[in-house]
Structure 1
């Protein structure tokens, strides 16, 4: 039996989409995707770089509208494509006005698309870029909790702007470490999945002042639209689920996560939407 679709809720207070991949969305033209996001009061969107092949495209997308922003970084899946030239590109553009973080960087031992030692080296090198540029970071960590903590500990004193561990599906140990160190945790449509009680447990333990909302579009479409390509316009469903799990009003979730986003990605705070 298919779950009945319902209208996307629209909240009075705007929302910030902190993590999506606009260049990966294929089901609609970009103009339509952005129009739908604005219709549901998405005020700003951050589109994320993941590979040498899309660093420039993310920068281009960040210039499409005043309320679009990007990152620069190499995902652990593509760690073996990292080079001095790629690092130079990230360094050169990591300080651009519309680039709000170094990312998506980190470790992924679930798919192991790159050698783990290479992943760790590339993770460290990109954390150093963030330190040097005084930028926050967007971290991907999957099945790599212990090594993620070990590496982040080496940067506790020098990484003055923390950032977010996005699409958080890790265990309570990494969650507690991140919370104690002042990181935000990013939650998306996974929180709405029937079998994702582990993620909802982490939402319960995370202070609302350290939660960010994201879609990770085109992936991880939330209930009740699973089966469709994800898009920023579905972000209100994530806000509703966080509200339900934490048993606080959805307006409080929307307002607090909005300010969390501005605090985490400091270049958003002074920007005009």
Structure 2
């Protein structure tokens, strides 16, 4: 089975046909989906989606775009919310200097709170980084020196040096539909170079639908196209990418009950 390691199933884009979208994902062989939190005041609806379906889990966190609206976010608050059995990760968080929708210092403070929560809970931190490679690298190096934590760079579109740094820290690097875009040569080169044991695939749905569906609203079933493209880049079969990325996900998100995984494999 494949796993969509990052999607936003609580978004209004899916409200009217969420059941159909999830059914299509299952029919496409997507065994698990991870729906991602972006605002704490909307966490309840993220959790509600995860609670409603046995093959969906979720995270808790604040997207860097939303950091200005969360000046009081603390690691303790994130840790408390992460105690729910369906919450298996912290984030998404990080730095986005492309849009600068939030003050950069606010983004950094928020990012650090999430890293502390990840360290305290043992859950992985999901990192969004755009046009902020140097600061992201500096924070990861400094925080890892204080104490190890698990994590991944989601929707990877950064320079290869940041991907290498993630691998040195035993983190995962997740590829979205961007990987399939004709102009994404640097991202594709990183995918080729990175070890198989550090790779994940995702949709980031409803955004970034892969070729041949680029321009459409994305959904979890479309992750099969990204996985197939990754397999071609790596020179391996789709089955190998499917199995490897699934094992990588389960190693990273080890709060997901193994009986749930066995049930989905048998489905």
**TM bin (shorter chain):** over 0.9
Q: What does residue 133 of structure 2 align with?
A: 145
Q: Is 1:247 paired with 2:232?
A: no
Please report the TM-score for the alignment, with normalisation by the length of structure 2.
0.93
Q: Which of residues 187, 208, 213 in structure 1 aligns to 2:201?
A: 213
- Taking the aligned partners of 1:271 and 1:220, their CA distance within structure 2 comes to 32
- Taking the aligned partners of 2:221 and 2:23, their CA distance within structure 1 comes to 9
In the TM superposition, what is the alpha-carbon distance from 1:204 to its structure 2 partner? 0.9
SS at structure 1 position matched to 2:62: coil
- Taking the aligned partners of 2:55 and 2:9, their CA distance within structure 1 comes to 13
Q: What does residue 36 of structure 1 align with?
A: 24
Please list every run of 5 or more consecutive structure 1 residues that lacks an aligned counterpart in the other structure. Answer: 1-13
Q: What does residue 258 of structure 2 align with?
A: 270
Q: Which of residues 191, 196, 210 in structure 1 aligns to 2:179?
A: 191
Q: Which of residues 37, 46, 57 in structure 1 aligns to 2:34?
A: 46
Please list every run of 5 or more consecutive structure 2 residues that lacks an aligned counterpart in the other structure. Answer: none
**What do you get for the CA RMSD once the two structures are aligned?**
1.5
Q: Which of residues 259, 263, 268 in structure 1 aligns to 2:247?
A: 259
Q: Is 1:23 paired with 2:14?
A: no
Q: What does residue 5 of structure 1 align with?
A: none
- Taking the aligned partners of 1:245 and 1:46, their CA distance within structure 2 comes to 25
Aligned 8 A contact 2:118 2:150 in 1: no
Aligned 8 A contact 2:76 2:117 in 1: no
SS at structure 1 position matched to 2:26: helix
Q: What does residue 72 of structure 1 align with?
A: 60
Please report the TM-score for the alignment, with normalisation by the length of structure 1.
0.91
In the TM superposition, what is the alpha-carbon distance from 1:41 to its structure 2 partner? 1.0
- Taking the aligned partners of 2:55 and 2:165, their CA distance within structure 1 comes to 32
Q: Which of residues 171, 181, 188 in structure 1 aligns to 2:159?
A: 171
Aligned 8 A contact 1:188 1:216 in 2: yes
SS at structure 2 position matched to 1:248: coil
Q: What does residue 62 of structure 1 align with?
A: 50
In the TM superposition, what is the alpha-carbon distance from 1:42 to its structure 2 partner? 0.6
Q: Write out per-residue CA displacement over residues 148-200 of structure 1, whole angstroms, 9 at most, x where no aligned residue.
A: 11111122145544121000000011111111110110001111111111110
SS at structure 2 position matched to 1:26: helix
Structure 1 pair 256–92 and aligned structure 2 pair: CA distance change class (3 A): same
Large movers: runs of 4+ above 6 Å: none
1:219-234 correspondence runs (5 A) = 219-234=207-222
Q: Is 1:181 paired with 2:169?
A: yes
